[in-house]
Structure formats: structure tokens, C-alpha cells
Amino acid sequence: LVARMREFGTTVFAEMTALAVRTGSINLGQGFPDTDGPPAMLERAVAAIREGANQYPPGPGVPELRQAVAGHRKEHYGLVYDPDGEVLVTVGATEALAASVLALCETGDEVVVFEPYYDSYDAAISLAGAVRRPVTLRPDDGRFTFDPDELRAAVGPRTRAILVNSPHNPTGTVFTPGELAAIAAVCQEHDLVAISDEVYEHLTYDGLTHIPLATLPGMRERTIMISSVGKTFSVTGWKTGWVCAPAELVRAVQTVKQFLTFTAGAPWQLAAAYALREELGWVAGLRDALATKRDRLMAGLSAAGFGVYRPSGTYFVQTDIRPLGFTDGLDLTRRLPELAGVVAIPTQVFYDHPERGRHFVRFAFCKKDEIIDEAVARLSRLH
Ligand code: PMP
Ligand code: GLN
């Protein structure tokens, strides 16, 4: 294995899901729902296979999906993208992120990331031979946020891009207009590209709505906007995502993407196009259900003795384990199956400064109510 990938080993999600399977524990670690997406969307994928959508689709994605993505962006955000040239279908948001970083960064270039960061970000940056410049999100009045001065200080002459993720995994923060404006200002002052991971765009709570970075003045021309079907339609196994950006940036990402995977699976693309056109009502119901599950898990974890942060988006609750007398989340999550029959994610693995996240553990609430209740009952044994 090349030196630049040696620090990566197995992703924490695979490790923790394997631990859950091996021990028969309740898996509140890896974020995937335990109920299916809209039935008609599932049927559309089956029909697509039956109808013969089984050979290579066009490299940039099937026109129907590119049109549906552009239509969705316009209707929800007032953002206009040309489906021919400004939309690229990818194998999940994961490929979109990796291809974007690989397309933009020369060896030794720097990418600003907010830590804790989603684990594929640092791997993509390392694959590109680039260097990450972390800006730490810290809890302030119960909500994870950043210091704009720290963001400014992270940018140097070699900085090429900033990776933004709102709603943010794993903290649940939805960036405010002020936070987004601070990011936009830095991008424009230093001529950076923003790679904006918006896979949780529809999963916001408490009346908050998602604001795409590209809608801020001066940002559409320098933002690679990324999303996917996994979270929105509860099909994390479909690995179908997309990039929206100005044509020049899409061409750059596509140049890389075509040699990573060439194209993305055809049946999923057709079903995703259908879902973006017809199933946003279903998504509104999902969001309402998840808001209730969030409250259920938060209340349970509080009663079990955890310090709990209220997420405004995503399907994760961030907790502080110190009130229970624990100090190391990695150690605790590895023992949690034996202590309580539950699996969770140690947040510290998402930091360049693990000591800043040592006492945080993430729990997923995209699960049936009875699963959440049983997990909480088991976790109540910890104190
Ligand atoms: N970004 C974030 C923040 C995520 O949580 C995930 C996990 N789904 C992804 C990207 C990857 O998305 P996909 O499954 O579409 O590749
Ligand atoms: N995005 C999911 C999470 O954060 C997991 C993705 C994965 O397993 N790579 O839990």
C-alpha cells in the first residue's frame, strides 16, 4: 500500500458495523435507515432492469436524471444548471467528492476541511497528494460552530479548495447564513473552489431550511455542489449521486470520474430521476418522522446519562460521554457491545486533533422507534 494511504486502514463504519453483526448488537453506528425508500421508486428500479436498462449509460449520466437534478435545483433553490454540461452523475457523493479533489489539487496543494469531517474527505485529499488544513467545529451554547478567524488562518498560498458539509455529519450542525457568508468571503478573497457536500439537504429540523452555498452572491461560479439519493430517499445502497457546477468545473471532475468508474449504474439513475420529480412529498414525511426520532433518541440518551447535543440536521446525535465517567470514545465504542449491546461511532477518528473529539460519540436515529427504545434501555445500564 502506498505510504500516503497507510494511515487509513479500514473505515470506522465498516469496523463498527462488523462489530455489531459479530456481537448481535443494535447498530446505531453507520448511518443507514432500517426502512425502505418510497415504494414506487423501488418499483421504478425493478422496472428499469426489466425494461433493459442494463448496459453502460452515458458517461455524464442518463439525460433523464441530469434533467431531474437540474429541475430540482431550480425549483428548490432557484439555482439554474444546464443538464447538458453542468450536471454530472456519479457513484454516490463519495465518488463526486473524490473526483472533485483529484481534479483540483496538485501534489502539495492544501484543502481546508472542518473537523470532525466525514471520513472520505481526508482519504480523498491524501489520494490527491494534497494536504488538509483542519478548522475545528467546537460546541458553543450546545451547537458546533467555527471561529471565522481560525478559518481565515487556515488558508495559505497553496490552498486550492475548501470542503464544506452542511447539514454537517457528524455534528448535526446546519450552517447559518452568517457562517455560510464567512465561508463565501474566504473563498472569494483567496480564489478558492468550494466543494459543497449537501447529501443531508432535505434532512433539517425545527423549521430550518438548507441553504446551498452556491446561492450566496459570487458563489455559484466557484462551487461544486454535491448530493446523492442515499439519505434523501433512504437508499444508501444505491450509490447514486451528482455534481452541479459551472461547465469548466464539471469537465474537470468528469475527466477524473470517467477513469474511476466511467459511469454510474443505469437502473438506479432512472429510479432516482423519478424520485426527484415525484417523491419529494415522501421526503417531507421522512423529515418529520426523523425529527420525532431525533427527540426520542435525545431524550433517551439524556436519561441514560450522556451529554447530548441537539442536531438541526442529518440523522446523527452527538454525545459527550464524560458525564457517565468515560473519557475515551474509541475505547468506549469498542467495549459498548459487551457493556450494553449497542454500537456507535467514536467521533475522534474524524479529527486531525483527536484530543478535541476524544469524549464525543455519535449515535444514528434513522431507525425504527422500537429499535431506538431498546438501544436506550440497554444504554441506561451504563450508569
Ligand atoms: N458525505 C457525507 C457527509 C455522508 O454522511 C455520506 C454518507 N452517506 C456521504 C458523503 C456519502 O454519500 P454516498 O453514499 O452518496 O456516496
Ligand atoms: N455516511 C454514513 C455515516 O456517516 C456511512 C457511510 C459509510 O459507511 N461509508 O454513518
CATH code of the domain containing 59: 3.40.640.10
Q: What is the pLDDT at residue 234?
A: 98
Q: What is the pLDDT at residue 48?
A: 98
Q: What is the pTM of this model?
A: 0.98
Same domain, 150 and 28: no
The residues of the chain scoring below 70 in pLDDT are none
Q: What is the pLDDT at residue 358?
A: 98
Q: Which atom of ligand 1 is nearest to the CA of 229?
A: 15
Ligand 2 within 6 A of 17 CB?
no
DSSP track, 306-362 = -EEE--SBSSEEEEE-GGGT---HHHHHHHHHHHHSEE-EEGGGG-SSGGGTTTEEE
Mutate-to-test residue for ligand 1 from 90, 94, 257, 315, highest number of ligand atoms within 8 A of CB: 94
Q: How far is the CA of 119 from the centre of ligand 2 (A)?
A: 8
Identity at 325, one-letter amino acid code = G
Ligand 2 within 6 A of 11 CB?
yes
Of all residues in the chain, what percent carry a pLDDT higher than 70?
A: 100
Same domain, 11 and 134: no
Q: Which atom of ligand 2 is nearest to the CA of 13?
A: 8
Region of 211 (left: φ > 0; alpha: ψ -120 to 50; beta: rest) is beta
End-of-domain residue from the set 279, 301, 323: 279
End-of-domain residue from the set 219, 248, 279: 279
Same domain, 65 and 210: yes
Nine cell digits for residue 212: 446551498
Nearest partner of 182 among 215, 157, 156, 146, judged by Cα? 146
Same domain, 266 and 293: no
Q: In this structure, are residues 166 and 313 in contact, taking their beta carbons and an 8 Å threshold?
A: yes
Q: How far is the CA of 99 from the centre of ligand 1 (A)?
A: 14
Q: What is the pLDDT at residue 185?
A: 98
Same domain, 233 and 344: no
In a domain? residue 373: yes
Q: Which atom of ligand 1 is nearest to the CA of 169?
A: 3
In a domain? residue 50: no
Question: For residue range 135-162, what is the model confidence (pLDDT) as tens digits?
Answer: 999 999 999 999 999 999 999 999 999 9
In a domain? residue 251: yes
In a domain? residue 220: yes
Same domain, 149 and 17: no
Mutate-to-test residue for ligand 2 from 236, 238, 333, highest number of ligand atoms within 8 A of CB: 236
Cis peptide before 134 (omega within 30 of 0): no
Q: How far is the CA of 83 from the centre of ligand 1 (A)?
A: 23
How far is the C-alpha of 69 from the C-alpha of 280, rounded, in Å?
12
Same domain, 315 and 286: yes
Same domain, 296 and 200: no
Does ipTM surpass 0.85 in this model?
yes
Q: In this structure, are residues 374 and 368 in contact, taking their beta carbons and an 8 Å threshold?
A: no
Same domain, 75 and 181: yes
Those residues whose C-beta lies under 8 Å from the C-beta of residue 111, and which sit 6 or more positions away, are 101, 105, 125, 130, 131, 132, 133, 159, 160, 161, 162, 163
End-of-domain residue from the set 279, 304, 328: 279
In a domain? residue 84: yes
Mutate-to-test residue for ligand 2 from 8, 16, 28, 30, highest number of ligand atoms within 8 A of CB: 30
Same domain, 149 and 233: yes
Domain span at residue 339 reads 3-37+281-382
Q: What is the pLDDT at residue 383?
A: 84
Same domain, 147 and 263: yes
CATH number for the domain that contains residue 324: 3.90.1150.10
Same domain, 314 and 227: no
Q: How far is CA 159 from CA 109, 191, 219, 222, in A?
A: 6, 9, 17, 14
In a domain? residue 30: yes
Task: Work out how many domains the chain is built from and give that number.
Answer: 2
